[in-house]
């Protein structure tokens, strides 16, 4: 049986099941409730038809990292030219550095809400990258990215580095939005590097070891946010590490 979903109109909500459990205890017993949030997705269904889905799920790093790489207004390079990320539709072909144009199978969206209670305030920050920070046209214009944005970096063992790690207060600046901001992430048939305002950024893929730290029920809930997939392996291969990319002759073309 798939896990039950809680529907609400607010971006954040408290888990009703846990709240009900809390009522069974005395007021002297501390019970920590799980912060929940709304996630919105567009995807290609199994008949290759565009579809949409909305759900409430935990506001945790495991879930939010699948939805928070690109801020609204980011221009993604497609085979038909640049397109604002909020205007991308399932099936549109996005240019990738490694594999040429690939269809967008899934686009996830959530809102970053200022002053939301959290143990990890960095997950509510955006990163502004000034034009030309990483070289000519990298990016072509100022670019605002979410906390899950990662880019290929030479010499890094994992091959991908959070863009926020380059924050220097000058050309790469971390900011806290004064009002709600929509952030997005994308899934292709496999993980690839795409151009966001000309800067190479990786599409979404679960990080290594992620399935090991999620129980079966949490995995089912997580996969319910990706209706076009049946199992975690359906995300396809992850991007190659540095040595493998160098062997394939693509590291110098992509990495910063």
Rounded Cα distance, 15 and 34, in Å: 6
pLDDT score recorded for residue 9:
36
pLDDT score recorded for residue 208:
80
- In 3D space, the residue among 56, 58, 62, 63 whose CA is nearest the CA of residue 5 turns out to be 56
- 24-38, 162-176, 188-202: least confident range: 24-38
Structure tokens belonging to residue 9: 């109109």
Work out the percent of the chain whose per-residue pLDDT is above 70: 78
Q: How confident is the model at residue 31 (pLDDT cuts 50, 70, 90)?
A: very low
For 173, other C-beta atoms within 10 Å of its C-beta total: 15
Topology of the domain comprising 36-222: Endonuclease - Pi-scei; Chain A, domain 1 (2.170.16)
pLDDT at 86 over 80: yes
Please tell me which residue, 19 or 129, carries the higher pLDDT value: 129
Average pLDDT across the chain, whole number: 84
Determine the Cα angle at 148 with ends 147 and 150, to 5°.
110
- CA dihedral sign, ordered 61, 40, 146, 234: positive
Please tell me which residue, 120 or 53, carries the higher pLDDT value: 53
For the stretch 125-143, what's the b/e string if a residue is b when 16 or more beta carbons lie within 10 angstroms of its beta carbon?
A: bbbbbebebbeeebbbeeb
For 91, other C-beta atoms within 10 Å of its C-beta total: 14
Pairing of strands 150-152, 193-196: unpaired
């Amino acid at each position: 049986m798939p896990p039950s979903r809680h529907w609400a109109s607010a971006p954040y909500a408290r888990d009703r099941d846990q709240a009900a459990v809390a009522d069974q205890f005395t007021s002297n017993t501390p019970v920590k409730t799980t912060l929940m949030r709304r996630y919105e997705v567009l995807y290609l269904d199994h008949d290759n038809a565009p579809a949409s889905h909305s759900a409430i799920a935990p506001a945790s790093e495991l879930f939010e990292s699948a939805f928070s790489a690109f801020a609204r207004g980011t221009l993604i390079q497609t085979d038909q030219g640049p397109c604002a990320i909020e205007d991308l539709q399932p099936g549109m072909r996005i240019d990738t550095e490694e594999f040429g144009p690939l269809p967008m199978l899934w686009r996830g969206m959530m809102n970053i809400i200022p002053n939301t209670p959290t143990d990890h305030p960095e997950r509510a920050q955006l990163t502004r990258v000034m034009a030309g920070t990483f070289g000519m046209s990298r990016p072509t214009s100022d670019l605002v990215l979410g906390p899950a944005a990662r880019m290929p970096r030479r010499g890094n063992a994992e091959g991908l580095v959070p863009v926020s790690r380059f924050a220097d207060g000058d050309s790469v600046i971390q900011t806290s939005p004064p009002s709600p901001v929509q952030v997005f992430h994308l899934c292709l048939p496999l993980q690839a590097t795409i151009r966001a305002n000309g800067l190479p950024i990786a599409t979404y893929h679960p990080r290594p070891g992620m399935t090991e730290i999620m129980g079966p029920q949490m995995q089912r809930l997580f996969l319910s946010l990706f209706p076009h997939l049946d199992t975690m392996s359906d995300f396809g291969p992850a991007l190659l590490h540095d040595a493998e990319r160098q062997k394939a002759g693509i590291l110098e073309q992509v990495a910063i």
